[in-house]
A and B are shown apart, each in its own frame.
Chain A
Amino acid sequence: MQRRILTFVVLLASFSLIYSSITYYALSKAPSQPFIAWGVFSPSETLSNYFSGVGMNVTTHKILTWHFEVTNQMGSIQYVGVVYRLGNSTSNNPNATAPASATPQIGNTSRFIPNGQTAAINFTWSINSENQAGGLVVLNMTINGQQVFSPIGSVKGLKFRFFFELWTYDLAANSFLYGYEGPGSRIGNWLQIWFNAA
């Protein structure tokens, strides 16, 4: 009798362990690498043709309507910020670890994006006027309805460029940090578009 009970207990423990392990495996989330993907789209919904077929030249008062599409695959809701900077051909680029802090920020937008969703963020801009300052052309612009005076100039108004940086809110740091939290370290993410103020 005792042997029967012992057999029963051992078998019950073994089977329970096997089935519980299978349940644990089935309930566990599949491993995945978190990432945020984004791009800046032209009015024709493409990743090109930003100036509607007139090269890179942007005339004064021409309104350009672009938008960012930001996809969150981080595994949870993200508070995403997009920082805009206006640089020229000699400005230092942002990189995978650091933003282009030396280039002045001319605006930003933020948005909450649930996991697995894509947010569209508008970026509408125009050049109000071009002014001469120290042999350089500096721009007075309107970005998303806000008037912006950029301190960065460019020779003859050529080779300006927008830097767009992706920032995410870090709850531990209690502030926005450049890039997003990757496996082991933060991953910086930026875009740029060149233009001439014609």
Chain B
Amino acid sequence: MRFRQSAFLGTLLLLTFSISATTDNVSGQSTPIDIAQNKIVQAFQIVNQADLDGASPAAISQLASNLNLALSYEQSAIQLLPTNKTGSGVYASLSLNMSTTTAVQALNVASAARTQTLLSQLGDYSLAVASGLGSTLLVIEFHRVKNFVRRVRLRRLRLD
């Protein structure tokens, strides 16, 4: 079920990216580098949300490494632009792909983190209520406990 949800969200994200990329191209103002830069920021936004949702430090560290890789591709694209437009385009495309992949991974991580946090909190509060129930029963039925202890003592005395 979670996989389906993640797959749906991932597809939706890819579609959004594709549509926004198409729109950027149609407008004729954005270069591939601009598009790559925008995608990096969008991916950062999702990774940041995953972090705030309680994703594990290891998962966030991996996503950050991917974002840094996307950033280095983008830097290479900028550096190559004056001398090698084709090469620059290739790096911009690599950056775009890496940002998109990272964003999809971040969505999955965020979804898993939210579920994990919810289940963990549910477990903790259930334990609190169960402890409340146990304490209540202990207080109400304390006389029975006392009687039980007395009976055990008596039995031991008889055995002795």
A residues lining the B interface (CB < 8 Å) = 4, 7-8, 11-20, 22-23, 26-27, 76-77, 79, 110-117, 145-146, 169, 171, 174
Contact = CB atoms under 8 A, between A and B. Distances in A.
Contacts of A110: 71
A1 B135 CA distance: 20
A111 B40 CA distance: 11
Contacts of B48: 76-77, 171
Contact of A23 (B45, B57, B60, B124): B124
A23 B127 contact: yes
Contacts of B127: 19, 23
Contacts of B71: 110-112
Contacts of B17: none
Interface residues of B, number: 29
A7 B140 contact: yes
B110 to A, nearest CB: 12
Those 4 A-B pairs whose CB atoms lie nearest each other, nearest first = A16-B132, A15-B132, A19-B128, A11-B136
Given A23-B124, A111-B71, A114-B60, A76 B45 contact: no
Given A27-B124, A171-B44, 17 more contacts: A8-B136, A12-B136, A13-B132, A15-B131, A18-B132, A19-B131, A19-B135, A20-B132, A76-B48, A76-B51, A77-B60, A77-B63, A110-B71, A111-B68, A112-B44, A112-B68, A115-B51
Given A113-B64, A114-B64, A11 B139 contact: yes
B111 to A, nearest CB: 17
Contact of B57 (A12, A27, A116): A116
Nearest to B120: A27
Contacts of A116: 57
B79 interface: yes
A76 B61 contact: no
Contacts of A13: 132
A73 B129 CA distance: 35
A20 B44 CA distance: 35
A20 B127 CA distance: 9
Interface string B95-139: 000000000000000000000000001001101110111011001
Contacts of B131: 15, 19
A77 B48 CA distance: 6
B125 A171 contact: no
Nearest to B74: A110
B135 A76 contact: no
Interface string B56-83: 0100110110011001000000010000
A117 B140 contact: no
